[in-house]
Amino acid sequence: MTAGTGTAAEHARVGDQLETCEKVVYQRALAEREFSAESIHNDDYTRRQGYPGALVSAYVLCGYMTEPLVRFFGSSWFTSGEISLRFIGTGVQQHDSVRCGGSVREIVPDSDHLHRRVLLDIWIEKANGLRPVVGTASAIVPGSPGQPVSSTGSGHPGLAPPESAK
Amino acid sequence: MSKLIPFDAIIIGTELGPVETLVSPQRVQEYCQDWDDANPWYLGDSPFGRPVAPPAFLAGLTSFQLLGSRYDAWSTIGVQTYHRNLRPIPVGETLVTRGRIADKYVKRGLEYVVVSSTTYASDGMPCRESTDHILLSLERVQQ
């Protein structure tokens, strides 16, 4: 990870995959607190409502998703990062194994035409292949959209290695 | 329908907060442990010249704190979230978040409220803008 030069985002091309990040979900409040009988964070209640168990809070999952984005965008994420997430289906439960991933959807010029905004589709995937969290993320990086790049991403922290290197 | 937050009583435009949060090294360390995120920028040196809070530190949670300043928000859950980072948050900073109820709606019998907020550093400059769609309860409205 570097401060402003050489981030994966600066070398990204449409279709590049975000370096994935694997987690075992843990929310401290679910481990330490008792929740009321009609709380979304109460196991018995959510099971009666058709969920596998108490729902982990959105802010926890948002935190997981930002880790690979910080790796990808570097310091730009802190000054221009935008993230939009939807939490769908039966949610995520405590101790689920999840994988945060994404791919570059679009690279567009920023308003000053000296920078570009790199836009990704992002998701969190459970071990069963379901994606209870989907959305988009973007941040501004130096350079114009048409600027040639020297690499497809190999060797840049934050990008998944190309297939040939796996 | 939510028994804790009466949907009909929610007024769009209602101001929420402010909520004050100290970004202490202890809380950041706790974040790094809970999220299993060992990025050295959060506890050591960073490109910004000092440790900075993880970008998602309290993101989303502040909307619940804001809603919780008026209602019992423990039974709610976020279904959609948007955050825009404007500048890094130094560790040690005291943040102030102000928000408002931007919208409310019923979808497939479930009640939602939308909370928009801005988080400010102690110098008054904004460092994050957020919008959260919050499901009030899993109980459906009687048709």
Whether residue B126 is predicted with pLDDT greater than 70 in this model: the reply is yes
Whether residue A154 is predicted with pLDDT greater than 50 in this model: the reply is no
pLDDT at residue A11 in the model: 92
Average pLDDT over residues A19-23: 95
pLDDT tens by residue, A60-93 = 999 999 999 999 999 999 999 999 999 999 999 9
Contacts 24+ apart (CB under 8 A), B4-8: B4/A38, B4/B71, B4/B72, B4/B73, B4/B74, B4/B75, B4/B136, B4/B137, B5/B67, B5/B71, B5/B72, B5/B73, B5/B76, B5/B113, B5/B136, B5/B137, B7/B104, B7/B106, B7/B111, B7/B136, B7/B141
Q: Report how far residue B61's alpha carbon sits from residue B5's, in angstroms, rounded to the nearest whole number.
A: 18
Contact B85 A41 (CB under 8 A): no
Whether residue B21 is predicted with pLDDT greater than 70 in this model: the reply is yes
pLDDT at residue A166 in the model: 39
Residues of A in contact with B85 (CB under 8 A): 77-82
pLDDT at residue A144 in the model: 63
pLDDT at residue B95 in the model: 95
Least-confidence region, from A20-34, A53-67, A148-162, B105-119: A148-162
Higher pLDDT, A1 or A73: A73
Q: Most confidently modeled of A149-153, B24-28, B54-58? A: B24-28
Q: Give B125→chain A minimum CA distance, Å.
A: 13
Best residue in B64, B79, B85, B127 for a mutation probing chain A (most A CBs within 10 Å): B85
The answer to whether A13 and A162 have CB atoms below 8 angstroms apart is no
pLDDT at residue A159 in the model: 64
Average pLDDT over residues A111-127: 92
Q: Please, which pLDDT band fits residue A147 given cuts at 50, 70 and 90?
A: low
Interface of A with B in 31-90 (CB under 8 A): 35-36, 38-41, 45-46, 49, 55, 57-60, 62-67, 69-70, 74-75, 77-88
Chain A residue at shortest CA distance from B59:
A59
